[in-house]
């Protein structure tokens, strides 16, 4: 079994993937826009991503811009959990992800290790864990 995350965006998927590719040193792959899709999509939306993947060492997820008739609401249905072994790297990543977003749990020592939870500037929820 393989479980993957698929993130939905409201027209800013390309911007979000560029942001994440820098943070995670990953590559955006399999980009497909709505340009040639046989769908009822407004002309101004044709350059948006119908599908893309972000792939790198230890990271792989899919993402897309939801069609204009599919409302996106910011909720807590999806959290991406990241496990790290270096506290300094984990803290830096947490700070970068939470910049312009919202911190729900400060990155600090817990019973099991270091943990922080935040929502980034795109409305995606993250949990960062680091062993002691």
Phi then psi for 15, rounded to 5 degrees?
Answer: -65, -45
- Asked whether 9 and 65 are in contact (CB, 8 A), the reply is yes
Integer-rounded Cα radius of gyration of the chain: 16
Whether pLDDT at 88 is above 70: yes
Neighbours of 2 (CB within 10 A): 4
- Asked whether 60 and 20 are in contact (CB, 8 A), the reply is no
Query: pLDDT at position 3, please?
Result: 75
Phi then psi for 130, rounded to 5 degrees?
Answer: -140, 130
Q: Which of 54, 65, 42, 128 is nearest to 91 (CA)?
A: 128
Stated pTM of the model: 0.80
Band (pLDDT 50/70/90 cuts) for residue 16 is very high
Q: What domains sit in the chain, N to C, each tagged with a CATH number?
A: 6-65 (3.10.180.10), 79-130 (3.10.180.10)
Mean pLDDT of 39-66: 93
Whether pLDDT at 71 is above 90: no
- Asked whether 78 and 124 are in contact (CB, 8 A), the reply is yes
Burial of 59 (0-12, 13-18, 19+ CB in 10 A): middle
């Amino acid at each position: 079994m393989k479980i993957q995350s698929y993130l939905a965006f409201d027209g800013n998927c390309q911007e979000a993937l560029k942001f994440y590719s820098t943070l995670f040193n990953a590559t955006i792959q399999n980009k497909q826009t709505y340009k040639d899709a046989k769908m009822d999509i407004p002309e101004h939306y044709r350059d948006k991503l119908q599908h893309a993947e972000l792939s790198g060492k230890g990271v792989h997820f899919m993402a897309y811009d939801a069609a204009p008739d599919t409302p996106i609401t910011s909720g807590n249905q999806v959290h991406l959990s990241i496990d790290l072994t270096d506290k300094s790297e984990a803290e830096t990543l947490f700070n970068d992800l939470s910049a312009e977003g919202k911190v729900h749990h400060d990155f600090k020592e817990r019973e099991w290790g270091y943990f922080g939870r935040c929502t980034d500037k795109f409305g995606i929820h993250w949990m960062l864990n680091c062993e002691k």
